[in-house]
Structure 1
């Protein structure tokens, strides 16, 4: 999978970028679209932030399977991955945390439960 971008604290607070050596966490995330190409977003009211579906990859879990599982947990939809975007390295030195986020585009299929995400 292709590296899309390296993000560091300097992208948000300025200064010289600092890169970490050790990956702390692996995650799968991305766009979930419906038939009209509306994008599903999750609203985090405690911090007034919208985010895309996704989350951590469980030990032994494939990255694509993790994204589909996270979609189901967070949106209540089953989905099909239609495009692989690449991955992002998130170097967060202030938090001593480095994450690889594998990114995809998926199309919503069957709604199986009510959940937090809504198409906008």
Structure 2
């Protein structure tokens, strides 16, 4: 039987299927305000993401072994223990480039994962002005 944490509660990382993602807007325009609005949407949609990121993810996403807890969203620069790892290059390039969602597991459906990521991205205005209410 396949499982994202086949050895159970052991001192072992489990099996993830991290999703690197970007859009043309993220690569070409980006910006800190847009990035912060995007992270707020990922936080707001936490459970929608977890629902499609693979079964038994609560066994893998414990906050140990380079994972964030399944029920708490976080992001950080080069932080392998965050929900979303932000590459150094992203920040150095004025918040432009790709991001890495570290929560999907090896049993997730890549099409559902990509769909949920794109739904969340689409909910953030892609313009030079991100409203304070976002």
Is this a same-fold pair by TM over 0.5?
no
Q: Which has the higher strand share?
A: 1
Q: Which has the higher helix share?
A: 2
TM-score by length of 1: 0.29
